[in-house]
Amino acid sequence: MCGRYASTLPPEMMVELFKLLKSIDIVPRYNIAPTQPVAAIWEAQGRREGHFARWGLVPGWVKDPREFPLLINARAETMAEKPAFRDTLKHGRCIIPASGYYEWHTNPDKSKQPYYITMSDDRPMALAGLYATWMGPNGEEIDSVATITVPANPQLSEIHDRMPVILEGAAVDDWLNVRDVRAAEAGQLALPLADGVLKFHPVSTRVNSARDDDPGLIERAEIAKPQPRVKKVAGGGGQLDLF
């Protein structure tokens, strides 16, 4: 799954890269977590605009968002059938700009090592997403999003078995074009990137805490090597024996 990411794109770069009509007021973020507001892009009446939305999809038919489970990811294999995602795949496709994302590898001792994953040439990512607008009984509105995941390619499977859908080139335009590109066609765009398009490195476990949000989180960290266990040999005068 994709549960944390960074977005450090300047507003003017977002306008140019993603063909926005106007910029949105964003600041660099290095540890964006579920339930937080995120910048997302979608089209309405043929106009492409940036919006802020809650990360954690709330379909429009939900009665009380507080009692609905947190949906931060949608599996590409099942999103066309799941009630929570079926309509948004038809009418609510979006992209979520990112500089990179984090994934946690489970070590043999069950500890988890975070990695920061970026494009191999450091260009920005366009994460495929779905959005919905929930309207409450008193007129309140909540825009919300979920990212889409697929099975990891062989390179990324070293870290985790899933990865986000990252769109490139014309696929971005087709994904956002809900007027002319049907859900079935859009679903075919949800594919893992080829090996070699991404790169990754280990980072500090400080990223585990959503309270930490600074440039140091994306810097390479050294992974501590496990130390061999030792025991004293009986009657050995304090000698240590490796085993």
Q: Are 191 and 165 in contact (CB under 8 A)?
A: yes
What are the phi and psi torsion angles at 178 (to 5°)? Answer: -75, -15
- Residue 232 included in any domain: no
- pLDDT, tens only, 114-157: 999 999 999 999 999 999 999 988 888 999 999 999 999 999 99
CB atoms within 10 A of CB 54: 21
Please report which confidence band the pLDDT of residue 18 belongs to, taking 50, 70 and 90 as the band edges: confident
Count of domains forming the chain: 1
Q: How many CA atoms lie within 13 A of 30 on its CB side?
A: 15
Q: Which pLDDT score is estimated for 231?
A: 52
User: What pLDDT does 25 receive?
Assistant: 86
How far lies 239's CA from each of 6, 10, 121, 236, 243, in Å? 50, 60, 52, 5, 13
Q: What are the beta bridge partners of residue 163?
A: 150
Of 97, 119, 114, 120, nearest in space to 28 by CA: 97
162 part of a folded domain: yes
Selection from 43-47, 75-79, 107-111 with the highest mean pLDDT: 75-79
Angle 135-63-95 from CA coordinates, rounded to 5°: 55
In a domain, 241, yes or no: no
Residue 53: the pLDDT is 96
3-state secondary structure of 26: coil
> Is pLDDT of 227 > 60?
no
Cα 218 to Cα 7, 28, 38, 238: the distances in Å are: 11, 12, 18, 44
Rounded CA separation 31/38 (Å) = 11
Considering the domain boundaries, does residue 239 fall inside one?
no
Q: What is the pLDDT of residue 200?
A: 97
Mean pLDDT (the chain) is 90
Length reported for the chain: 243
Which of 7-11, 101-105, 176-180 is predicted least confidently? 7-11
Cα-based angle 14, 45, 123 (whole degrees, multiple of 5): 20
Contact 125, 116 (CB under 8 A): no
CATH of the domain at 186: 3.90.1680.10
Range of the domain at 146: 4-222
Residue 218 within any structural domain of the chain: yes
Q: Is residue 136 part of a domain?
A: yes
Query: Where in the sequence numbering do the catalytic residues fall?
Result: 2, 103
Measured distance CA(85)–CA(90) in Å, rounded: 9
pLDDT at 225 over 80: no
236 pLDDT band, cuts 50/70/90, is very low
pLDDT tens sequence across 24-72: 888 999 999 999 999 999 998 888 889 999 999 999 999 988 889 999 9
Q: Are 72 and 146 in contact (CB under 8 A)?
A: yes
In a domain, 93, yes or no: yes
Span 177-197, pLDDT tens digits: 999 999 999 999 999 999 999
Q: Is residue 126 part of a domain?
A: yes
**pLDDT at site 234:** 52
Residue 126 tokens read as 């366009």
Q: For 75-95, what is the mean pLDDT? A: 96
